[in-house]
Amino acid sequence: MSAITYTNRKGKTSYIRQSTTKTGKITYYATTKVKKEEVKNMLTEMPEGYEFFENPETAVVKVRKQPTYTFTVEELKTIESILKKGKKSLLQISRDTDFIGFYHPMMSTFEWIQFSTNRQMSELSDSIVQYAQYEIVGRLLKKGKTYILQRQEKTSWATIEENDDLLSLTDKYKKELLNNQLSEIPVELPEVLPAVLDLKITLVGSSPSIYRTVKVNNDISLERLHDIIQIVMGWDRSHLYSFEYKKGKRSVEITQGGNPFWEDEPESEADEIDIKDYLTNKGDKLYYTYDFGDNWDHEILLVGSTEGAIKKIAECTEGKRACPPEDCGGIYYYNDYVKRQKKGLKHLSEDEIEWFGKRFDPEEFSLKEVNKRLSRSR
């Protein structure tokens, strides 16, 4: 009998290996690294209660225990019969445990045309399917006999339509699903009320931890949040910055768009986005990177919120330790410097003493001084 295999969208073939743990438990895993003479040792049948699963975003294949699915195979085939016939599309459809997901490439067509300059345009679609990183753009849920089509928003899901007829619902939004145009469908989003957010901003990798806690209004832009971070941390706006939102394997980067010292500074993408678009629930996080040379990464954690608004740009409520000097080499070098500085100046080089100064105190932080600087900001 031939070995059982699975070929993913990238054309890689996986086999199933069987192994035994130290406790004697039998486990199964997918592998693509199989020599010709080893094929005969691969499993020829799928173990009972297991299945191949291809991650729709990365195309990584694994062997897993069969879950209980909300959607049947027949319902999946109904959707595929509508969306997979006719026009060729980059859309990938995947049945997960409690939903059916619709996935499209994360890169733009223009970027893929640049990537595929040595390929014929007729081969471009196949190239994207094989090499692209995919992201979920929509999903179909089932509640009783009702099907719910939703699209991916920045931090949540927005319902497009509810319908008891799966065939009708899929056919109605066929064009938008195939062409990645769900975002163009008007939907009613819940209103976000004015609120004061309690944020904890931590310099990632700092040991001991360098952090600030601040109160800000939820309607300020990310560019305004950048200004606040610069003030409360103690940076001096000498470099570029970016924000990044991560949720699971999904990542969204928001860039500054220009150098603060350019005469004709390009319009900032961060100026067009409010923090309430990403920080809405306790535990939500944003990541802020300042200076793409030293890479000062900051974690911005939403600790809590209260209704209303404050009249100030922001209020710093707590903080620990001094901000590292600009252009000092990054967090790992800075941590090492602090350890050596504690042992005395003789453990530092002349260049370090000149750059940091003899009186630099890593433990210094003045809440009063930070709020004074905030009050002067407009």
pLDDT tens readout for residues 163-197 = 999 999 999 999 999 999 999 999 987 777 899 99
Structure-block tokens of residue 62: 């694994």
CATH for 195-376 (3.10.290.30, 3.70.10.10, 3.40.50.9100, 3.20.20.70): 3.10.290.30
| 3-class secondary-structure state, position 142 | strand
Where are the domains positioned within the chain? Answer: 5-65, 73-184, 195-376
Statement: residue 122 has pLDDT above 80: no
**Lowest-pLDDT choice from 102-116, 233-247, 344-358:** 102-116
What CA–CA distance (Å, rounded) separates 139 from 95?
A: 10
pLDDT at residue 111, rounded to an integer: 53
Q: What percent of the chain has pLDDT over 90?
A: 62
pLDDT at residue 305, rounded to an integer: 95
340 CB-side CA count, 13 A:
14
Q: What is the mean pLDDT of residues 114-123?
A: 52
Mean pLDDT of the chain: 87
CB count in 10 Å sphere of residue 100: 24
Q: pLDDT, tens digit, for every residue of 37-54?
A: 888 889 999 999 999 999
If pLDDT is split at 50, 70 and 90, which confidence band does 267 have?
very low
Whether pTM exceeds 0.85 = no
Closest CA to 253 of 274, 276, 269, 267: 269
What CA–CA distance (Å, rounded) separates 194 from 108?
A: 35
End-to-end CA distance of the chain: 75
Statement: residue 236 has pLDDT above 50: yes
22 φ/ψ angles, rounded to the nearest 5 degrees: -65, -25
Angle of the 367-376 helix axis to the 222-233 helix axis, nearest 10 = 140
